[in-house]
Amino acid sequence: MDSKIAPRGGRTRTRTGTRVLAASLVLTATATVGASGCSSQAVAGTAAGRHVDIPVKGGTATVDTGSLAVNARTTDGKTLELSAPAGTGLGTPGPVRRTGDGARWSYPDRGLTVTARADHGRLRISMKADRDGSVTWPVTGTDRAASAVQLPRGEGLDIPVRDTFWNSAEGGLTGDAIDVGGGLELPLWGYTMGSGHGVSYLAPTDLGTSLKFRSEGGQLRTSTTHDFNGGDGTRDYTVTLALTDGNPVAPGADYRAWLGEHGQLGSLRDKIGQNPANGKLLGAFHAYVWGDARKAAGVEQLRKLGVDRMWLGYDAGPDPMDAAAVKAAKKAGYLVGPYDSFANGQDPKTADSPTSAWPGTVYPDFCVQDAKGKPQTGFGNRGCYLGSRAFEQAEPKHHYLADRTRAMTANGADSYFLDVDATGEVFRDHSAGHPMTKAQDRDSRLARMRRLAKNLVLGSESAQPWANKVLAFDHGAATPVADGLWKLQRDKETWGGYYPQNAPKTFFKPVELPAGLAKAMYDPVYRVPLYETALHSSLVNAERWELSYDKLPRQKTDRALLAMLYNIPLNYVLDGPSLKKSGTELAALQKYFSPLHKAAGTEKLTSFRRLTGDNLVQRTEFGGGKLTVTANFGKTPHAGLPGGCVDAKLRGDQQPRRLCPAQLTG
């Protein structure tokens, strides 16, 4: 990105474990409510017919049709409150009718029809509205046994519900509601209910759905609100509830199973088969290059250091990687790709970035319009957001996107980074010429990403799961961004600005995070691989590019251990001086990572365990033991593993491979 552009993607997003195999959470059920069949007779139940029992994996769920409270009785005799009564008034429910695998009833006062049924071992509650409105349900974390809440912010967090930091304003959870479709990396959350029990909540209808944290009596609780809006196409709302063993990554395993059941889980192995260049991602670190680092000599320097795989990206400024540099990178086995964005449009005469300048009257004709018919102002108050559907409608005649891509890859680049297309920030366009709902915005983005992925190794920012089948990598979904980060980045004196041109300080200036922000984002006590549990083997996940490995010196060791534990690459920003200073360290880290990722990058994460009561020693397994990684984030040795070090063992290894990042020198 050239130095005149505002930072991309800078919007607000807003115990000792037990072994868990993702395979054990592929939930199945064949039992139905009452007798089988599709009779329309009212279901007989307790409490004057208000309660409906649904068999689920691990027990029976009971729905109170008067309040939508949900309780479960587990097979070992434990009673759990999965949801308190709805937070909005529902009115008197209509009669309960039996269906083939559940029950149906209505709330006439709210215009809602509700269906409860068994779905692969889960309780599935679906609502359909005949009018605009909203409902707050489920209301979760209310059971006294609730001990921790799981949240897919970045890779994932597991937060003790009585933790004083997260219950305070400094923790940043108890403020505004979080947009499930835009503020979370996965449409889910979960709770651990003491020892051996938990619950996973999936919200596949994430558009129009928000999750709000509140602290009550020093304990974190959550409530979910869905807005039914005909114009937005959100009149349907579904949540599934599943009993788990309480492992903090169980909701991720549940969601992976759900994606597989619905044909929505991608495969990196298949993507490599369709485009072999995708295979170069395995073992590769990622870096955006500047100055001399984007020349052929810079590529050669990396190769001489022994770096066998890299993804090299460059901004859309006036000095891209030239054909000679791209040729050298390909010869070294690296991937090369430009940064681009189809999201912003500006007047071509005054545009502050080549990615915002479009031919003809794309600007302003393609601008997304709000309900008042005014253009939706673009990120950083620059130009406007461009409607993805407007491009799709024009594509048969005007190949704006294909022409842009062709120009950006004329140097021979074999990869492409398309900013923001796969994030949760989607729009409703009120334009008469190219109207679209948020769901249609997603569909249009998927269509153009699918075209790009046919011949290019495609990446985007903070890949949402709805895009996991078309993307090969992302930059951002590994970072659990807390709101304080945006405030810090706006402080250019501390964070650094967009100068000098060949090494902008915003990327290269080291920064010390405030203690609270560092804790919220990088304290390993709270970090868990929810995203990898759901999507590892589908795509390659990395941190945000403005948070390069060298940007946050005090977090380097923890970030390196997390990357190795999660089997994901580190992300760098390099220029000539930084390559000379840190190249040896980069090469050592990549040499350690490369064989591990080549072996397990196409495998699913099958186990996550915490080995000590303080949560500082953690272990992952991939491919059912094909790769086992143990990281010690503490200062005390554990079973021979020193603090600040990681051991990795591939199946067949006689001894573990050890890495102690702090011992490496640049």
Question: Cα–Cα distances in Å, from 656 out to 19, 477, 629, 652?
Answer: 20, 29, 9, 10
pLDDT digits (tens, 9 = 90+) for 454-496: 999 999 999 999 999 999 999 999 999 998 999 999 999 999 9
Contact between residue 81 and residue 198 where contact means Cβ atoms under 8 Å apart: no
Task: Determine the average pLDDT of the residues in 390-414.
Answer: 96
With a cut of 60, say whether residue 7 has pLDDT above it: no
With a cut of 90, say whether residue 574 has pLDDT above it: yes
Residue recorded with tokens 């949900």: 70
Question: CB under 8 Å to 363, separation ≥6 — which residues?
Answer: 345, 346, 347, 348, 356, 383, 384, 386
Peptide bond into 187 cis (omega under 30): no
With a cut of 70, say whether residue 4 has pLDDT above it: no
Distance CA 105, CA 42 (A): 10
Range with the lowest mean pLDDT among 18-27, 78-87, 226-235, 359-368? 18-27
Percentage of the chain with pLDDT > 70? 92
Contact between residue 363 and residue 317 where contact means Cβ atoms under 8 Å apart: no
Residue 49 has a pLDDT of: 67
Could you tell me the pLDDT band of residue 45, with boundaries at 50, 70 and 90? very low
With a cut of 60, say whether residue 16 has pLDDT above it: no
Residue 316 has a pLDDT of: 86
Residue 424 has a pLDDT of: 86
**Alpha helices in 472-575, H assignment, sequence order:** 484-490, 492-495, 505-508, 515-522, 530-535, 556-566
With a cut of 70, say whether residue 22 has pLDDT above it: no
The better pLDDT of the pair 38, 112 is held by 112
pLDDT digits (tens, 9 = 90+) for 597-611: 999 999 999 999 999
Neighbours of 654 (CB within 10 A): 5
Among candidate residues 424, 460, 479, the one with its CA nearest the CA of residue 337:
460
The better pLDDT of the pair 345, 502 is held by 345
pLDDT digits (tens, 9 = 90+) for 282-319: 999 999 999 999 999 999 999 999 999 999 999 988 88
Q: Which residues pair with 220 in a beta bridge?
A: 215
Percentage of the chain with pLDDT > 90? 89
pLDDT digits (tens, 9 = 90+) for 245-265: 999 999 999 999 999 999 999
Residue 611 has a pLDDT of: 98
- 3-state SS of 474-488 is EECCCCCCCCHHHHH
Contact between residue 118 and residue 60 where contact means Cβ atoms under 8 Å apart: no
Q: Which residues of 457-490 are buried (b: 16+ CB within 10 A; e: fewer)?
A: bbbbbbbbbbbbbbbbbbbbbbbbbbebbeeebe
Task: Determine the average pLDDT of the residues in 212-240.
Answer: 97
Residue 85 has a pLDDT of: 98
Dihedral of CA atoms 497, 503, 507, 512 in degrees, nearest 10, equals -80
Structure tokens at 542: 């990395």
The better pLDDT of the pair 260, 24 is held by 260
Neighbours of 363 (CB within 10 A): 22
Contact between residue 116 and residue 109 where contact means Cβ atoms under 8 Å apart: no
The residue type of 147 is S
The residue type of 423 is T
Q: Counting every residue, how long is the chain?
A: 666
With a cut of 70, say whether residue 42 has pLDDT above it: no
Question: CB under 8 Å to 335, separation ≥6 — which residues?
Answer: 277, 280, 281, 284, 310, 311, 312, 329, 414, 415, 457
Distance CA 547, CA 571 (A): 8
Question: Cα–Cα distances in Å, from 8 out to 1, 485, 486, 505?
Answer: 8, 14, 12, 15
Sheet hosting strand 219-228, strand order edge to edge: 133-140, 219-228, 209-216, 178-179
Structure tokens at 532: 């990898």
- Helices 556-566 and 515-522 cross at an angle (nearest 10°) of 10
Question: CB under 8 Å to 475, separation ≥6 — which residues?
Answer: 286, 417, 459, 460, 461, 462, 542, 543, 544, 545, 571
With a cut of 70, say whether residue 12 has pLDDT above it: no
With a cut of 80, say whether residue 24 has pLDDT above it: no
With a cut of 70, say whether residue 179 has pLDDT above it: yes
* Region at 157 (left for phi over 0; alpha for psi -120 to 50; beta for the rest): beta
Kind and range of the H or E element at 582?
helix 576-600
Peptide bond into 529 cis (omega under 30): no
Concatenated DSSP letters of 162-195: T-HHHHSGGG--SSSPEETTTTSSSSEEEEE-ST
Q: For 286, what's the count of Cα atoms within 13 Å in the CB-facing half-sphere? A: 29
With a cut of 80, say whether residue 1 has pLDDT above it: no
